[in-house]
Amino acid sequence: MRAARTLAASGLPACWGRVYAAMRDRPALRRAVVHTGGSLDRMPRAYRWGTAAALAAFPAAFFAATGRGPRRATPEQTRSGLRRLRSVPGYGQVLRATTALALYGALDGGAP
Q: CA torsion sign, 67 to 71 to 74 to 77?
A: positive
Distance CA 108, CA 102 (A): 10
Min CB(64)–another protein separation in Å: 20
- 26 part of the interface to another protein, by CB under 8 A: no
For 55, residues 6+ apart whose C-beta sits below 8 A from its C-beta are: 6, 7, 9, 10, 12, 94, 98
**What is the number of H-type helices and E-type strands within the chain?**
7, 0
Residues in 6-25 that interact with another protein by CB under 8 A: 19-22
Q: Which of 56, 60, 64, 100 binds another protein (CB under 8 A)?
A: 100
Residues in 39-98 that interact with another protein by CB under 8 A: 39-40, 42-47, 49, 79, 82-83, 86, 93, 96-97
Which positions touch another protein (CB under 8 A)?
A: 19-22, 31, 35, 38-40, 42-47, 49, 79, 82-83, 86, 93, 96-97, 99-101, 103-110
